[in-house]
Chains A and B, each alone.
Chain A
Amino acid sequence: MTAKEFQRAWGGGAVLELTEVSKGFAAPGASSLVMAGVNLTLGPGEFVAITGPAAAGKTTLLRLMAGLDAPTAGAVAVAGRALGGLGDGALARLRLTSLGTSLPGMPLLESLDLLDNVALPLVLAGVGHRVARAKAEAALRELAVTTGASLAPEAASPSQRQLAQVARAVAGDAPLLLLDEPTAQLGPLGADRVLRNLRQQVEQKGRTVVIATSHAAVAAHADREYRLRDGALEEI
């Protein structure tokens, strides 16, 4: 599917919509708000970086976008569906079909090799086993993981594991990709390869990509940068 075909099929609505999202964590005797009144609307084919100092809440924001955490107030919608109204099963299905993610808390499964880890979300989404493995293999190959695909995560290098997580995020047809520090374990060439691959997902397939990073050089690959600071999200 080309970017244009995708956008036509999509109809031009928002792929991701955050409305007045706040998130607080209860602490003994107090509660602290890590973000307040965050608004963000992204359409198809947007490539955005969320930046900010360490502990600014970048990962929390991505987890809210993925429905892995619920906001304290406000609403998150992915592909036109409000996450707040969905039960666990519906949320899981939406994640499988509409989201490609590489986030903390969603590790590779140790019982599967890298190839099957990449294929797993596709299989769970109903794609036949052979097709899923072929897509997984292609995604890994595009990221230059060829020899390590049959390794168990434990036996793979940190960079191979990270590349497999990125491959797992991009292998399907999800319109929205969310990746937290997608190059943290990679050298400069591997990082370039991942960031160019994400650019291709945007330009050739019309997908929307959100990366969170504290590295300016990584953020510069996106078309726009939003900075999270003192609980507010500001486009810079």
Chain B
Amino acid sequence: MLESRHMSVKFGLLGILARQSQHGYELKRSFEQVTGGFWRLNHGQIYQSLDALAAEGLVSYTVQPLDAAPDRKVYAVTESGRRALDEWLAGGEARVRPLRDELFVRLAVMTDRPLADTLALLAGYRRSYAQHMRELTRNKNDLAKRHAGPDSGSEPLDLTVEGLLLEAAIYHCEADLRWLDRCEAVLAAAREDVAS
């Protein structure tokens, strides 16, 4: 899965550069925007991916001198980069995403602990997911406003896809919350059984 994530970031950046040359920080923002704001990258990931892309000859860069700040590199896709992007977009099998999560492992190994600990753990996750869900919903509503606005500064299809990706994140989050509710209900009932 890590490999697939790494490839997604690499080709995601390449896809953005295929539309317009950008420097590292712009790329970070573009990547996060096109993926609906729910796939955050740190600067290390960006520059590591860009270094790898440059080493493979898929991107090139020019150094742009700045007066008040250190020089920056502006990256552009190369011809072989475009070919690699086309191959990646056209190829590959559709894989079902593996369901792996730290919480699953935690739950699996804490069955010998007091149920109250497990319920507290679930409540903590529920809070985080609910908060994340509110953020995603706010982003979705902001996007709808941008979409309806006279000049969004973005292509309509880009906004539509951004909305669909945000909805993917919302549906996943909703499924997680439903499952957490289910865990809580089943385990709370189990605790009552033990107590009676």
> What is the interface of chain A, defined by CB distance below 8 A to chain B?
53, 192, 196, 199, 215-217, 219-223, 225, 236
Contacts and interface: CB of A to CB of B under 8 A. Distances in A.
Interface stretch (B39-47, B126-134, B151-159): B126-134
Given A220-B170, A236-B126, 13 more contacts: A53-B181, A196-B144, A215-B174, A216-B129, A216-B130, A216-B133, A216-B174, A217-B137, A220-B130, A220-B136, A221-B137, A225-B134, A236-B123
B127 A216 contact: no
B130 A217 contact: no
A225 B126 CA distance: 11
A202 to B, nearest CB: 12
A217 B133 contact: yes
A236 B130 contact: yes
A223 to B, nearest CB: 7
A57 to B, nearest CB: 15
28 contacts: A53-B181, A53-B185, A192-B144, A196-B144, A199-B141, A215-B174, A216-B130, A216-B173, A216-B174, A216-B177, A216-B178, A217-B133, A217-B137, A217-B174, A219-B130, A220-B130, A220-B133, A220-B137, A220-B170, A221-B141, A222-B134, A223-B134, A225-B130, A225-B134, A236-B123, A236-B126, A236-B127, A236-B130
Interface string B110-136: 000000000000010011011001101
Contacts of A236: 123, 126-127, 130
Interface string B21-32: 000000000000
A45 to B, nearest CB: 16
Interface residues of B, number: 18
A138 to B, nearest CB: 19
Instruction: Report, nearest first, the 4 A-B pairs whose CB atoms are least far apart.
Output: A220-B133, A216-B177, A220-B137, A220-B134
Query: Which residue among A53, A192, A216 has the maximum number of chain B CB atoms within 10 Å of its CB?
Result: A216
- Do most interface residues of chain B lie in helix, strand or loop, or is the interface mixed? helix
Interface of B: 123, 126-127, 129-130, 133-134, 136-137, 141, 144, 170, 173-174, 177-178, 181, 185
A192 B141 CA distance: 9
Contacts of A199: 141
Contacts of A216: 129-130, 133, 173-174, 177-178
Nearest to A54: B185
Contacts of A222: 134
B171 to A, nearest CB: 8
Contacts of B185: 53
B116 to A, nearest CB: 13
Contacts of B123: 236
A221 B130 CA distance: 11
A236 B177 CA distance: 13
A225 B181 CA distance: 15
A175 to B, nearest CB: 23
A236 B129 CA distance: 10
Nearest to B176: A216
Contacts of B126: 236
Contacts of B177: 216
A135 B178 CA distance: 39
B181 to A, nearest CB: 7
Contacts of B129: 216
Contacts of A225: 130, 134
Nearest to B132: A220
A69 to B, nearest CB: 26
A87 B123 CA distance: 42
Contacts of B141: 196, 199, 221
Nearest to A235: B127
B173 to A, nearest CB: 7
Contacts of A215: 174
Contacts of A221: 137, 141
Contact of B170 (A196, A217, A219, A223): A217
A44 B79 CA distance: 58
A236 B170 CA distance: 18
